[in-house]
Structure 1
Amino acid sequence: MKLNRIQLCSILMVLFHLVGLYGFLNSELEVLFIALVPYHLLLMLGLLIYSTKDFSNNIKIFAVIIYLAGFFIEVIGVNTGLIFGNYSYGEALGLKVFSTPLLIGVNWLILVYCTGVLLEYLKIKNSLIFPLIGALILLGIDFLIEPVAIRFNYWSWSGGEIPLQNYLGWYIFSFLLFFVFKGLDFNKDNKAAIVLLFAQIGFFLGLNMWAF
């Protein structure tokens, strides 16, 4: 049976997250799999690009805006403590500029795009309800990510406590990013993006259940 690009990308997304979950839960492989995190993020971005049906200027504008916004909000946040609270990045996310991993913008881009595609699939049309729900989904994902990020040296919080400010800042910033997704006209039909979103949720949920 010949697979189309959506099916191929979906299978690879699930497979790599399952392998990653196994690696993170295996103490003998943990260091190796932490080192592979940046390459995993880039691979997922590559699969999203390959699976999309739209290479218009609008989707390129969307990607640039979300990447730059995500990166620079983290630059401000990590260097001032004004956005999310006082935190610092470890080495797991790779090369840093201004104490901020360059790939953190890719992470924001993947999360916003995949969640936005899901909301489009659910036919949420209201221009206010759309970002409200999108930001709520990303907030839920952040609750899953935070313990994993601390445990595996993605980032750490001053005093070891995650402040309420982090979740508030995450929600407000996500809310604004979904206005960009909703406002730009490009093809948002990409079922592989939905698969990736649920693969990520499953990955972090699995680590929360079994790694602590």
Structure 2
Amino acid sequence: MRIAIIFLWIIHIAAIIGIALGYEDFFLPKSPFTMIYLLFLLIFFFKIESRKAVLLFIAFMFTGILVEWIGVHTGTLFGDYYYGINFGPKIDGIPVLIGVNWALLTFTTHLISKKFFTSPIAIIASGAALMVGLDFFLEQICDFAGFWHFKNGAGWYNYICWYVVAAILHAIALHFKLKGNKILSYHLYGVQLLFAIGLWIVITI
């Protein structure tokens, strides 16, 4: 697992450096492959050893796709936005990998939260906050990266809806006593946070 994690950090740091040097047309279209690699690490090293955990991941993935579909096609969730070209293949305007990311983020932030808190309310609240925190930084780079585009920017309504949906997923994960690899969770979450913050710095300086 150590080599796989080192490679994970290398490709993200290389992407930030490459984009800073002006090679965004090379790196950004490869974002779906990076997400697939994150999924690969989760499958093989998160220690999803029960049928329950597999079903939870699938349920969270389809929930993510559903809420994004509602958001894109009705504007009643997250605001007025649409997906760009760099998040992989889409079904009716929604990238399949966005569902994977919803599930992956729920799994990893849930394990991180359980490391620091024992209170159910604190676990749910902090897990949802970690997801929204990452979303905040992703919103700063999404247009540049070609991930998704808000017509009037991502406002407070987007973050409230994100938090509510994330909290529901964390409550479900807590109910079913989700377990996994905490160390891997730190890396899977941390590398996405680093990339979002790093790219934000690159495009603003």
State the TM-score bracket (shorter-chain normalisation). over 0.9
Are 2:148 and 1:155 equivalent residues in the alignment? yes
Q: Match for 1:70 among 47, 64, 75?
A: 64
Q: Is the 8 A contact 1:120 1:188 kept in 2?
A: no
Structure 2 residue 74 is matched with structure 1 residue 50: no
Question: Which shifted more, 162-171 or 185-194?
Answer: 185-194
Higher helix fraction (1 or 2): 2
Does the C-alpha gap of structure 1 residues 54 and 154 become closer, same or farther in structure 2, counting only changes over 3 Å?
closer
Matched, 1:99 2:93: yes
Taking the aligned partners of 1:25 and 1:178, their CA distance within structure 2 comes to 36
Tell me what 2:111 maps to. Answer: 117
1:39 aligned onto 2:29: no
**Distance in 1 separating the partners of 2:120 and 2:72:** 31
RMSD: 1.4
2:179 paired residue among 178, 181, 187: 187
Which 4+ stretches in 1 moved above 3 angstroms?
none
- With over 3 angstroms needed to count, the CA separation of the structure-2 counterparts of 1:119 and 1:9, relative to structure 1, is farther
Contact 2:72–2:80, Cα closer than 8 Å, also in 1:
yes
- In structure 2, the gaps of 5 or more residues are none
Contact 1:70 1:108 in 2 (8 A): yes
Aligned equivalent of 1:146, options 123, 139, 142: 139
Q: 5+ unaligned residues in a row in structure 1: which ranges?
A: none
1:158-191 deviations in Å (ceiling 9; x for gaps): 23x2222111111111111111221223432331
Q: From 3, 8, 14, give the equivalent of 1:13.
A: 8
TM-superposed CA distance for 1:209, in Å, is 1.5
How far 1:111 moved relative to its partner? 1.3
- 1:184-205, Cα deviation, whole Å (9 max, x unpaired): 2343233112112111111111
1:137 and 2:130 correspond = yes
Name the TM-score, length of structure 2 as normaliser. 0.93
Alpha-carbon contact 2:70-2:77 (below 8 Å) kept: yes
Q: In 2, distance between residues paired with 1:162 and 1:53?
A: 35
Provide the C-alpha distance between the structure 2 equivalents of 1:44 and 1:102, rounded to a whole number of angstroms: 14
- Give aligned pairs, total: 204
Identical amino acids, percent of aligned pairs: 25
Question: Contact (CA 8 Å) 2:137, 2:196: kept in 1 or not?
Answer: yes
